[in-house]
Structure 1
Amino acid sequence: MIWTIPNTLTILRLLAAPGVAIMFLYFHRPWADWFALTLFIGAAITDWFDGYLARLWKQESRFGAMLDPIADKAMVVIAIMVITGYSGMNPWLILPATVILFREVFVSGLREYLGGKGPILKVTQLAKWKTTAQMVAIAVLFLGTGLEHQEGIMRQGLTVQEYSDLVSQGLADPIRSCGARGCSSYATLVGLVLIWIAAALTFVTGWEYFRKSLPYLRDGQ
């Protein structure tokens, strides 16, 4: 492997993937949420820069082409695992998360099985948009989990409904000027919409890869 800047950025993104989960091991919430969000966004930005710089400086390599999708998948899978755990296993999140995780494992298995015929499953433009949608959705969901925990501290043990009643009675101030519901509910709602969009793109690209691989999955091929 040549230690070019694009390859180094890809390796740093791969190392950042487990770092997202480690934030919750060494820091208390909501600081863990904010550090994980910052680390995830920083790593996501390198996903654009490493490819751009590799093409600009003509430093594209087989190592980078191999490691780049692995780093992307590691980031998405680990982040989704963390978010689903801290979101209370929200079924509206579990379903799109399942679609995303299933597709990533399925396509990786297809590529491994096809071996030398792997180029037929090369990354498409829609797959790149899929990855972007996943990362944006995950970032917004991290924002939602962090705000939810912070708002829980501010409510001092009251439920959302109890706090809303106090706000409506003028006995408590709306949290962070987002109304009685608080900012976390809006961030989470936007994140859920985005993750469903990402899941739809994920399903479409997975089906496209499966369709392309069908001729090579028949006996005698």
Structure 2
Amino acid sequence: MTWTVPNILTVIRLFAAPGVAIMFLFFARPWADWIALVLFVLAAVTDWIDGYLAREWNQESRFGAMLDPIADKAMVVIALCVITGFQGMTPWILLPATVILFREVFVSGLREFLGAQAGTLKVTKLAKWKTTAQMIAIAVLFATGVFQHEVLDRTVGMDDATIGAILMGEAPDEVGLNFLVAAEAATWWGGVILLWIASLLTAVTGWDYFSKAMPYLRGPKT
């Protein structure tokens, strides 16, 4: 295996996937949220960069073709587990996350079973849009965690009456609370909507792959 720049970027992205979760073991929030957000966004950007460089520099390889989707799936699966955990298992996140995780496991198993015929399940343009939607949704939801804990940090020592007065404009907002609360709500609902869109695209592409594999699944095992 040749260590080209695209392959190195893919390997870095693969190792960044567990790094997103590990940040929450070594750093307090919201620092963990900030670091996980930056790490995830940088890793997601390399997904486009390594593919672009591989094509432009004619450095496409079997190793890269194998590892690239694995790195993408690792990023999405681990990040969704983290987000589902710190958002309190809310159905707004849990349901679309379940669809995404189920599809990724199902299609991976389907490709493994098909073996030599796995080339039938080539990555489609819709599948690429699916991955893009997943990564944007996850990045936005990581931002929600940042704003949630900034609100908690800046309201330490305040009672509910004081917080309510600030949000109603009846008391000076010296800590930027109104902006943080608005940003939290915007990223939460934006992330949820994007995640549901991503789960819909995920389900559609999963069904498409299953339909293409059906001719190889009929009949007795040989």
**2:72 paired with 1:75:** no
| Equivalence for 2:61 | 61
Q: Which runs of 5+ in 2 are unaligned?
A: none
Report the Cα offset of residue 170 of structure 1: 1.2
| Equivalence for 1:186 | 186
Alignment of 1:1-221 (within 5 A): 1-156=1-156, 163-168=163-168, 170-171=170-171, 173=173, 176=176, 178=178, 181-220=181-220
Kept in 1, the 8 Å contact 2:167–2:178? The answer is: no
Letter matched to residue 119 of structure 1: G
Aligned-CA RMSD value: 2.0
Kept in 2, the 8 Å contact 1:144–1:187? The answer is: yes
Distance 1:79 1:160, change over 3 A: farther
Q: Deviation per CA, 1:127-170, whole angstroms, max 9, x where unpaired?
A: 01100000000000000011101111222266889733553261
Structure 1 length normalisation: TM-score?
0.93
Structure 2 length normalisation: TM-score?
0.93
Aligned residues: 221
Task: Work out the percentage of aligned pairs sharing the same amino acid.
Answer: 60
Letter matched to residue 203 of structure 2: F
Query: Secondary structure at 1:88's aligned position in 2?
Result: coil
Distance 1:214 1:179, change over 3 A: same
**d(CA) in 1 for partners of 2:50, 2:75:** 15
Report the Cα offset of residue 179 of structure 1: 5.6
Report the Cα offset of residue 88 of structure 1: 1.4
Distance 1:155 1:182, change over 3 A: farther
Report the Cα offset of residue 171 of structure 1: 3.1
**d(CA) in 1 for partners of 2:18, 2:43:** 11
